[in-house]
């Protein structure tokens, strides 16, 4: 019998007991659906994460003070030294976070004000809607200027162009020089964030102090070197080992990936158990089928079927049963993945590799769990088999 013939016979037998076949394949279906959705959601999630990170800047790292904070643990002059000493560091900017009430002609809002330098624009991929970002002159002359985000600018000025206008905050006034474009990234949300020169903050809150710096590495894979180099220089200059800590986007990504792969592993093992149980179910029903069709086996043998023909027939039937579970499971799995991707706004990733994997799995299960019943069928004595009802 050729393969087409075998598959036809197998399909006929599956069709002969529809409900039973469907219930039998349920385990395989659930297992395959779980595998497919886990892989698809995992790949989609990772891709989504990557694009988010890229929007924000994948080369980004942060160095901050750990433990007891003393004044002067980070100084503006450190930035120059670090940039000169660590070639992997491309940009380095101090960050001093302030919360302030900011008042404009249209109202007053609470804003997060970052005292920083012009280099921050390059580090965080900040784009401007109008005007300009901070520049070197602002820093050098401690100019009283501010760059607002889109939302805040609208709250403070309505639809009027705010560039050149004044806002007041914490008893000072500052001139708006630019408005940043809204950042779509879920990580780099810059809503209600204003940037002022860090030299200006000393006018608001005393000394030019900061406890955190943001950096950009020359390349994505140089982030760790850039960050560690920065920490090392700071430790040496301030004689303070283990006083500085760093985090990078890459590191965060690694952590997230680690977590997601653990979750994937857990779901995959559940899927594995389901496939195992499903396989045992298939084996069970195939054994029942062999018993029910003992006479058929006897007839086929009398008509000239070799033991191998009978073995292959039942093996193909087990595989067909599993593949049907695989097909249904793939559809359900992708349905689930699309649903999750839709709500999480991820790209749904449909890869042929995953489908191949699922079908490979289903075939393998059919083979493994079909061998025993098929072998039992093939080893029947034709005389005994023909006598059976």
Partner 1 sequence: MIRLENLCKQYITGTIQVAALQGVSFQVVEGEFVAIMGASGSGKSTLMNLLGLLDSPDQGSYCLDGIQTADLGESERARVRNEKIGFVFQAFNLLPRLTALENVELPMVYAGVRAVERHKRAWDALERLGLEERARHRPNELSGGQNQRVAIARALVNKPALLLADEPTGALDTRTSEEIIEVFQELNNQGATIVLVTHEPEIAGCTRRILRISDGCLVADEPVPNPRKASSSQPELERQAVNQ
- Which CB atom, from 165 or from 296, has the smaller least distance to partner 1? 296
Q: Which residues pair with 179 in a beta bridge?
A: 130, 148
Query: Which residues, at least 6 apart from 252, have a Cβ–Cβ distance to it below 8 Å?
Result: none
Tokens at 83, concatenated: 């940039």
Asked if residues 195 and 134 have their Cβ atoms less than 8 Å apart, the reply is yes
Residue of 19, 308, 343, 352 interacting with partner 1 (CB under 8 A): 308
Q: Under a CB-based contact definition with an 8 Å cutoff, are residues 117 and 198 in contact?
A: yes
- Asked if 134 and 118 touch (Cβ cutoff 8 Å), the reply is yes
Please report whether residue 299 would count as binding partner 1 according to CB under 8 A.
yes
Q: How far is the CB of 296 from partner 1 (least distance, A)?
A: 6
Of the candidate residues 39, 74, 145, 301, the single one contacting partner 1 (CB under 8 A)? 301
Q: Any contact of residue 235 with partner 1 (CB under 8 A)? A: no
Q: Does 90 bind partner 1 (CB under 8 A)?
A: no
Work out which of 101, 236, 254, 306 binds partner 1, going by CB under 8 A: 306
Taking the least distance from each CB to partner 1, the nearer of 5 and 189 is: 5
Size of the site for partner 1 (CB under 8 A): 22
Residue 17 makes contact with partner 1 by CB under 8 A = no
Least CB distance from residue 29 to partner 1, whole Å? 25
Q: Which of 77, 239, 303, 352 binds partner 1 (CB under 8 A)?
A: 303
Under the binding rule (CB under 8 A), the answer on residue 296 touching partner 1 is yes
Determine, following the binding rule CB under 8 A, whether residue 289 of this chain makes contact with partner 1: no
Q: Give the span between the Cα atoms of 120 and 125, in whole angstroms.
A: 8
Among positions 70, 181, 254, 295, the unique one binding partner 1 when judged by CB under 8 A: 295
Q: Which is nearer to partner 1, 267 or 386 (CB)?
A: 386
Distance between CA atoms of 218 and 42, rounded to whole angstroms? 29
Q: Which phi and psi (to 5°) does residue 122 adopt?
A: -70, -40
Binder of partner 1 out of 302, 342, 344, 353 (CB under 8 A): 302
Site for partner 1 (CB under 8 A): which residue of 29, 49, 176, 305? 305
If binding is defined by CB under 8 A, does position 388 make contact with partner 1?
A: no
Q: Which of 10, 13, 155, 346 binds partner 1 (CB under 8 A)?
A: 13
Q: Which of residues 118-147 bind partner 1 (CB under 8 A)?
A: none
Task: Give least dist CB 9 to partner 1, A.
Answer: 9
Mask: binding to partner 1, 366-385, rule CB under 8 A, as x and -?
----------------xx--
Distance of CA 383 to the CA centre of its chain: 62
Question: Considering only residues 129, 144, 182, 307, which one is a binding residue for partner 1 as defined by CB under 8 A?
Answer: 307
Residue of 309, 336, 355, 371 interacting with partner 1 (CB under 8 A): 309
Own/partner long-range contacts of 70-76 (Cβ < 8 Å, ≥24 apart): 71/207, 71/209, 72/209, 72/238, 73/211, 73/234, 73/238, 73/240, 73/243, 74/209, 74/210, 74/211, 74/212, 74/213, 74/234, 76/198, 76/208
**Which residue's CB is nearer to partner 1, number 2 or number 159?**
2
Residue 53's contacts (CB-CB under 8 Å, 6 or more residues apart) are: 187, 249, 253
Q: Give the residue, chosen from 300, 314, 346, 361, that forms a contact with partner 1 under the rule CB under 8 A.
A: 300
Q: Which of 155-159's residues contact partners 24+ apart within 8 Å by CB, and which partners?
A: 155/104, 155/106, 155/107, 155/109, 156/102, 156/103, 156/104, 156/105, 156/106, 156/107, 156/109, 157/104, 157/105, 157/106, 158/105, 158/106
CB of 283 to partner 1, least distance (A): 23
The contact set with partner 1 (CB under 8 A) reads 1, 5, 12-13, 16, 295-296, 298-309, 382-383, 386
């Amino acid at each position: 019998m050729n393969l087409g013939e075998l598959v036809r016979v197998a399909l006929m037998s599956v069709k002969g007991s529809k409900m039973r076949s469907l219930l039998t394949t349920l385990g395989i279906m659930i297992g395959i659906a779980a595998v497919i959705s886990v892989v698809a959601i995992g790949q989609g999630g990772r891709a989504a994460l990557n694009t988010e990170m890229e929007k924000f800047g994948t080369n980004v790292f942060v160095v901050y003070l750990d433990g007891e904070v003393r004044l002067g643990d980070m100084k503006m002059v450190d930035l120059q030294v670090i940039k000169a000493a660590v070639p992997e560091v491309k940009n380095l900017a101090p960050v001093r976070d302030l919360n302030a009430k900011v008042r404009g002609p249209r109202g007053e809002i609470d804003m997060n004000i970052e005292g920083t330098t012009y280099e921050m624009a390059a580090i965080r991929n900040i784009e401007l809607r109008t005007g300009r970002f901070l520049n070197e002159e602002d820093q050098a002359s401690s100019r009283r200027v501010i760059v607002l985000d889109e939302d805040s600018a609208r709250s403070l000025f309505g639809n009027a162009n705010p560039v050149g206008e004044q806002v007041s905050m914490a008893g000072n006034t500052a001139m708006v020089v630019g408005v940043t474009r809204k950042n779509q990234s879920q990580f780099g949300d810059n809503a209600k964030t204003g940037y002022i020169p860090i030299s200006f903050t000393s006018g608001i809150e005393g000394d030019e102090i900061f406890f955190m710096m943001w950096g950009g590495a020359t390349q994505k894979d140089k982030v760790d070197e850039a960050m560690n180099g920065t920490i090392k220089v700071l430790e040496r200059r301030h004689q303070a080992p283990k006083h500085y800590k760093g985090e990078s986007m890459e590191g965060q990504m690694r952590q997230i990936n680690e977590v997601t792969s653990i979750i994937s592993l857990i779901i995959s093992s559940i899927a594995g158990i389901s496939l195992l149980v499903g396989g045992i179910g298939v084996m069970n029903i195939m054994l029942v089928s062999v018993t029910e069709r003992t006479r058929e086996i006897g007839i086929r043998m009398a008509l000239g079927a070799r033991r191998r023909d009978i073995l292959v027939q039942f093996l193909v039937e087990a595989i067909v049963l599993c593949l049907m579970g695989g097909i249904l499971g793939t559809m359900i799995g992708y349905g689930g993945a699309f649903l999750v991707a839709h709500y999480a706004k991820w790209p749904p990733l449909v890869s042929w590799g995953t489908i191949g994997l699922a079908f490979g799995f289903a075939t393998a299960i059919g083979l493994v769990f079909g061998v025993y019943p098929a072998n039992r069928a093939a080893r029947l004595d034709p005389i005994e088999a023909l006598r059976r009802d």
